[in-house]
A and B are shown apart, each in its own frame.
Chain A
Amino acid sequence: MANSKGFSSVIGTTFMVLVMMFLCTSVFMWTLSQNTIYNEAMKEKNQIEVDRLNEKVTASNVNYTVMGNVVSVEVVLENEGPVSVEIVSLWVIDATMNKHNFSSPLNINLKPGNITYLQGSKAINVTIVGSASLHQFSSWFVTARGNVVPSEREGGIIVAQVSAGIGSVAMDFTSFKYYNVSKVGSSYVLNNYPNGGSGYTVIQPSGKDVGIAFELCLTNFDPLKKEINLSSASVFWTLFPVLPTQPRGTMWYIVNVGDNGTIAGTFTTVTIPYGATTKVFFASAQDVNTGGFVPSLSSYTGTAPVNLALVGKIGDSAYGQNVPFVSIYIKK
Chain B
Amino acid sequence: MKLKSSECLDMDLKKVWKLLHERRAVSEVVSSVILTGAVIAVSFVVLFWAQYRSSAYNEQYSEAMNADIARLKERLAFEYVFYGGGNLSVYLMNCGTIDNVTVQTVYVKDAAGAPIQVSSSITLMQFNRTQIADKDLDRGEEGYFVLSSVSLVAGKSYSVRVVTGRGSTFDHTFIA
- Chain A interfacial positions (CB closer than 8 Å to B): 1-2, 4, 7-9, 11-12, 15-16, 19, 22-23, 26-27, 30-31, 34, 37-38, 41-42, 44-45, 48, 88-89, 91, 98, 100, 102, 104, 142, 144-148
Contact = CB atoms under 8 A, between A and B. Distances in A.
A41 B73 contact: yes
A44 B43 CA distance: 44
B77 A42 contact: no
B54 A23 contact: yes
Interface of B: 25, 28-29, 32, 35-36, 38-40, 42-43, 46-47, 50-51, 54, 57-58, 61-62, 65, 68-69, 72-73, 75-77, 79-80, 82, 84, 91, 93, 95, 97, 127, 140, 142
B84 A104 contact: no
B35 A8 contact: yes
A100 B81 CA distance: 11
Given A1-B32, A8-B38, A38-B65, 6 more contacts: A11-B40, A16-B46, A19-B47, A23-B50, A38-B69, A98-B84
A88 B94 CA distance: 12
Contacts of A88: 93, 140, 142
Contact of A142 (B25, B28, B57, B79): B79
B54 A27 contact: yes
Interface of B (DSSP majority class):
helix
B97 A8 contact: no
Nearest to B24: A2
User: What's the dominant secondary structure at chain A's contact region?
Assistant: helix
Contacts, number: 95
Given A1-B25, A30-B58, A98-B84, A41 B72 contact: yes
B95 A102 contact: no
Contacts of A26: 54
A146 B77 contact: yes
A48 B32 contact: no
A91 B39 contact: no
Nearest to B48: A19
A98 B80 CA distance: 13
Contacts of B43: 12, 15-16, 19
A281 B109 CA distance: 65
A136 to B, nearest CB: 15
13 contacts: A8-B32, A11-B40, A12-B43, A26-B54, A31-B61, A38-B69, A41-B72, A88-B93, A88-B142, A100-B82, A102-B91, A142-B79, A142-B93
A45 B73 contact: yes
Contacts of B54: 23, 26-27
Nearest to B75: A146
Contact of B127 (A15, A34, A104): A104
Contacts of B73: 41, 44-45
Contacts of B50: 19, 23
Given A15-B43, A45-B72, A37 B65 contact: yes
Nearest to B89: A100
A148 B172 CA distance: 13
Contacts of B58: 27, 30
B25 A38 contact: no
Contacts of B57: 27
Contacts of B91: 102
A146 B95 contact: yes
A34 B65 contact: yes
B28 A37 contact: no
Contact of A100 (B62, B80, B140): B80
A145 B68 CA distance: 21
Contacts of A7: 32, 35-36
A47 to B, nearest CB: 10
A19 B53 CA distance: 13
B68 to A, nearest CB: 6
A48 B76 CA distance: 13
Given A27-B54, A38-B65, A41-B73, A15 B39 contact: yes
Contacts of A15: 39-40, 43
B103 to A, nearest CB: 16
A190 B69 CA distance: 72
A31 B60 CA distance: 11
B39 A44 contact: no
Contacts of B80: 91, 100, 102
A104 B32 contact: no
A142 B80 CA distance: 10
B93 A4 contact: no
A330 B62 CA distance: 92
Given A41-B72, A91-B79, A144-B95, A4 B32 contact: yes
Nearest to B39: A12
